[in-house]
Structure 1
Amino acid sequence: MAEQNARVSVSVVAFGPLKDEIAQNQIVILDNNSTIEHLIRILKIEKWLDQGLTVALNGNRCELSSMLEDGDEVALLPPVSGG
């Protein structure tokens, strides 16, 4: 039987200006059944959601409701701008 207090370890990779707000590459330990949205709250980068943050889970775009599993890689991609 799995422990109720199980934890998952997730690798987080940040790009662009997000690298200045959080560590570029880090491991985050979360409660089991955590979502992408929960991870974003823990990292305190919710403001980026209104600015067009794209999140990839194991190389594929994902929804905020996507569940995280042990060993997942989450890439945080801020909107691209420039001219």
Structure 2
Amino acid sequence: MAASAQHKSVIITFPSETPDSVVQQAKDAIKANGGKITHEYNLIKGFAAEAPSVAMDAVSALGTEYPPVIEDDQIVTINQPATN
């Protein structure tokens, strides 16, 4: 039996003019390939997901008119400069 595919936490965003139907197709592709949507954003066109690489490949293959940006979901910190 093959090992299950490694899931990755990602954030997928689209250009602001992307139709909602394209974003929905991307979410459907994530779910159809064994992933899950973990958060849907309201201020930007996009969502967070946990999914195997095959799911990200499916999203990338949806088209070039509204290209998705797929980034690793990670913690971002800011280091404050030292004061003298």
TM-score range, shorter chain: 0.3 to 0.5
Greater strand fraction, Structure 1 or Structure 2: 1
TM-score, normalised with respect to structure 2: 0.36
TM-score, normalised with respect to structure 1: 0.37
Greater helix fraction, Structure 1 or Structure 2: 2
> Which structure's CA Rg is the greater one?
2
